Structure 1
Amino acid sequence: MLGVTALEDVALRQLFWTLTTLLHSTLLRLLLAINLLPVYCLRQVISVLPIATRRLPLLLTRQGRGRLISQTEQYRTYEEEIAAKQHDGSYRFTPANVLPWNGKTSWPVNRNVVEVCGIKVRVTHTKPKTTSDKAKTIVLLHGNPSWSYIWRRIIRHLTAVGYEVFAIDWLGHGTSDKPVNAPEISFELHMHTLRRVIEQFDLHDFYIAAHDWGGFFPARPSDISMHYYLLYWIWFFSTGILGPLLPDSFVLRFMAPNISVKTARAYSAPYSQSMFKTKASIGRFSHIVPALPDWIYDIRSTDSWRVIEGWLGPEHFTNLNAQASLAERNRHVRGWWAGEFDDKNSRNAPEKVMILFGREDPLLPEFKPVLEQYIGVSRVVRPADGGWLPGAGHYPMEQKPKEIACCIAELSEA
């Protein structure tokens, strides 16, 4: 006789299998996006209405419009300075703007603390079960909205065959401390975090396995078809409307419909102390993918745009600012991988890379050939099935952990 949890598993798996199947239809994706758009816009209008009403008189005079432009530039400079200081490690968080980890997790592993910008990053460190002169080190990087828990079964496989493994919880995720203010949550903070981990553990000649935000430059509109682009906008509008009220398990189950209730709860455990604050980084990274055409980012430099931004409140454009910055970084990174820059950093590009995608990924399967193109075919080590993992979606670590661990081992031996 099935217990309550088992029945819940069966019901939820069937529900999300049905939902995933329905959203294979481009038409249904379009209809859902169209219906979510006005609700999202209404929510944004409500949020900016008080400040827009108060600043309306400034639109009527040249001096007032000049003030609005100045306020826009000051705020953009403020955010750019935060990102720059986080990148070089000189930034320091104010304790009041950070929530420490609540200590809750159903995954009891050894965790080390690395200080980054005055707050704590936690790194799961697992040593190999067997020692060998040929033992290798691997660093695992998770994406959004997950944390290092997503690598748990792969870690077991890797340590069993002699790997030493480090799995980072990015700041704002999992067991690491959680900044609560959007402007203080940046991709540059992730970059510095990785460098600090490498320095503290004195890592050399190691491999990186990375997923989603942890691993690659984001897809741009020109990289994917409308079918997959629509799913991104459904995600963008849904998170913009519901914010932290959107259950993490909903996203996880859509991407991997066979996930269990127990596993879904484990993903949510580190965020249970304060739903609205602990998920700030999840929300931030949900909205800073540079998914708009470049011409929109380009017109931000015009006076008309800067007047409107100042009128509606520059702080309401914080995600767009981050998108524009990442769009520029995206162009640079693609050029770096393609060898367009003749500098020592370009010459230090990895000699071999393996790209794996779940064949049933509902979001980004079209991005696989884009990555291969920019990274360079000569660097790409192709596993069986050409890098496709049958029976896996956007979270293949939940569905094909053994296969992924074997691919990591294959890459390190190539």
Structure 2
Amino acid sequence: MTDVLRTPDEHFRDLPGYPFAPHYLDDLPGSEGLRLHYLNEGPRDAPETFLCLHGQPTWSYLYRRMIPVFTAAGHRVLAPDLFGFGRSDKPTDDRVYTFDFHRESLLRLIQRLDLRNITLVVQDWGGLLGLTLPLEEPGRFSRLIVMNTALATGDVRPNAAFYAWRAYSNAHPNMDVAALLRRASGRVSHEESLAYEAPFPDARFKAGVRAFPRLVPTHPDAPGAEVSRQARDWWVVQLHVESFMAVGLRDPILGAGPMRLLRSVIRGCPPPLEVAHAGHFVQEDAGDEVARAALEAFGLAPGGR
């Protein structure tokens, strides 16, 4: 294993809107010796578990507006930090980060904690990875909340905005994460943007951030493309996962067009909640609004079915 960095705890003190206690696992099969961080909020014995998966360059901080809505309704919430992000360990070699590396760690987390009756909450890479998980463990998933993401099947070419983003990322190996979040969301304050930068004291900590744009499967033989096509085929025919879609319309990469395509392959997916003022990071611009609407749609709000 390459060198591994661990962001000092003091970087996570007094972050605005993030009062959650950390939890760790360091024994996930295939990732032995790496410590994975996750949030675990709400009643441990709640019948419903919301599994919230972040993307790039964010971490579980992204879900701080949605978590209180879910827990106030009596539900349990798990929000892991992918390796290379947040409070999780950060291998320094960019080559460690592969589609399968991230996907396997999420599957092992679900199995290790024996999560059941999962509402899968995904956006960005949280969806590219997360939407493939029910393929392996279909009986554990009951609902889906999906925001600005895709299934990266390799047989649908991304739009020009994606290639521009990938070129920008490749040209900025020490990406200013705080500045990016301020540009992308009008709701993020200066202090909140610094919280997004907190896990990354310097460029050595950003290998995972750098890797993700290069990992998007853009041709049929790319790593992750085949399992994504299998997942697409599964979503087309599955019968038991209830879904809710929200779309940030200001997203130039994964906005209305890509989300229409995704909706067409999720059997039973109702018309989306279109959020005109939201961009790519829907959880920032409208996370509490989306969480309440999803609970209402599922009948899981207080007083629901």
SS of equivalent to 2:68: helix
Q: How does 1:5-404 map to 2 (within 5 A)?
A: 94=1, 97-103=3-9, 104-105=11-12, 106=15, 107-115=18-26, 116=28, 117-118=31-32, 119-128=34-43, 135-216=47-128, 217-218=151-152, 222=156, 229-244=159-174, 246-272=175-201, 275-291=202-218, 293-294=219-220, 324-339=222-237, 350-365=240-255, 366-376=257-267, 378=268, 380-382=269-271, 386-404=272-290
Decide whether the 8 Å contact of 2:235 with 2:265 is kept in 1. Answer: yes
When the two structures are aligned, how many residues end up with a matched partner? Answer: 268
Considering fraction of residues, name the structure with more helix.
1
Distance 1:134 1:146, change over 3 A: closer
SS of equivalent to 1:143: coil
Paired amino acid for 2:171: I
SS of equivalent to 2:79: strand
What is the Cα deviation at residue 185 of structure 1? 1.0
Considering fraction of residues, name the structure with more strand.
2
The higher radius of gyration belongs to 1
Deviations 1:171-204 (CA, angstroms, capped at 9, x unpaired): 1100000111122112222222222322333222
TM-score, length of structure 1 as denominator length = 0.60
Segments of 5+ residues of structure 2 without an aligned counterpart are 129-150, 301-305
Segments of 5+ residues of structure 1 without an aligned counterpart are 1-93, 298-323, 340-346
Root-mean-square deviation (CA, aligned residues, Å) is: 2.4
Paired amino acid for 2:96: E
The CA distance in 2 between the partners of 1:232 and 1:257, in whole Å, is 21
The CA distance in 2 between the partners of 1:97 and 1:411, in whole Å, is 46
SS of equivalent to 2:215: coil
The CA distance in 2 between the partners of 1:250 and 1:219, in whole Å, is 31
Distance 1:255 1:209, change over 3 A: same
The CA distance in 2 between the partners of 1:147 and 1:199, in whole Å, is 21
Distance 1:223 1:230, change over 3 A: closer
The CA distance in 1 between the partners of 2:78 and 2:126, in whole Å, is 14
Decide whether the 8 Å contact of 2:22 with 2:37 is kept in 1. Answer: yes
| Identity value in percent | 27
SS of equivalent to 1:190: helix
Deviations 1:89-141 (CA, angstroms, capped at 9, x unpaired): xxxxx3x521123212123421211123121101111125xx9x975221111
The CA distance in 1 between the partners of 2:297 and 2:105, in whole Å, is 25
Aligned partner of 1:407 among 293, 296, 302: 293
Instruction: Point out the more displaced range, 400-409 or 365-374.
Output: 400-409
What is the Cα deviation at residue 219 of structure 1? 7.0
Decide whether the 8 Å contact of 1:127 with 1:163 is kept in 2. Answer: yes
Decide whether the 8 Å contact of 1:381 with 1:411 is kept in 2. Answer: no
Distance 1:237 1:290, change over 3 A: same
Deviations 1:286-330 (CA, angstroms, capped at 9, x unpaired): 211123x55xx5xxxxxxxxxxxxxxxxxxxxxxxxxx1123333
TM-score, length of structure 2 as denominator length = 0.80
What is the Cα deviation at residue 360 of structure 1? 1.7
The CA distance in 2 between the partners of 1:160 and 1:136, in whole Å, is 13
Distance 1:173 1:134, change over 3 A: closer
SS of equivalent to 1:113: strand
Paired amino acid for 1:358: G
Decide whether the 8 Å contact of 1:140 with 1:167 is kept in 2. Answer: yes
